Amino acid sequence: MADSTSALALDKPRSPRRPAARRNNFELYSWVFMRISGLALVVLVLGHLFIMNILDGGVHRINFAFVAGRWSSPFWQFWDLSMLWLAQLHGGNGLRTIIDDYARKDNTRFWLKMLLYVAMAVILVLGTLVVFTFDPDIPAS
């Protein structure tokens, strides 16, 4: 009679094994951040769409003067900046997870993540500069 343990043996996985990560809670915090930022983004984006597209005549009123008047208020600067930062960090975290799941080689994973982090930093810095340095008094050319 054959040994019962040999009948239950599983083949080794085809994907290469990665060394076990150090025990920290980064992935847990990342998971929690995705849930909280997702809820906040739903409120921010739906509020943005409602105000910009439905209230007071819709998209026909949106022009440079409208944006200048809106960004003269710290409330709207904070609203738009929060939407930018949360969307960028939420999307970047999702892409980081996808890279971890699908990039097989450590070298490929490293460079894809570096490209992602640089792109995120550039977009966050430029977007933040636009919101805080916006000049509504640009002379017409």
How much is the pLDDT for 136? 82
Q: Is residue 34 part of a domain?
A: yes
Q: Which of 58, 67, 60 is nearest to 135 (CA)?
A: 67
Rounded Cα distance, 139 and 117, in Å? 36
86-89 CB contacts, 8 Å cutoff, 24+ apart: 86/37, 86/40, 86/41, 86/44, 87/41, 87/45, 88/120, 88/123, 88/124, 88/127, 89/33, 89/37, 89/120
- The number of domains in the chain is 1
DSSP alpha helix (H) spans, 26-105: 26-53, 64-70, 74-102
Query: Does a structural domain hold residue 83?
Result: yes
Tens digit of pLDDT at every position of the chain (141 positions): 555 556 677 666 666 666 665 668 999 999 999 999 999 999 999 999 998 888 877 888 888 888 888 899 999 999 999 999 999 999 999 999 999 999 999 999 999 999 999 999 999 999 999 999 988 887 766
pLDDT value at residue 10: 63
In a domain, 10, yes or no: no
Asked whether the beta carbons of 86 and 37 are under 8 A apart, the reply is yes
Q: What is the pLDDT of residue 53?
A: 85
Question: pLDDT value at position 35?
Answer: 97
- Would 19 be classed as within a structural domain? no
- pTM given for the model: 0.76
- Decide if 15 is inside a domain: no
**Which domain range does residue 47 map to?**
26-133
pLDDT of residue 20: 63
In a domain, 110, yes or no: yes
Between CA 8 and CA 131 the distance in angstroms is: 61
**CATH number of the domain bearing residue 77:** 1.20.1300.10
Tell me whether residue 71 is in a domain.
yes
Name the residue with tokens 């409208």: 66
Determine, yes or no, domain membership for 87: yes
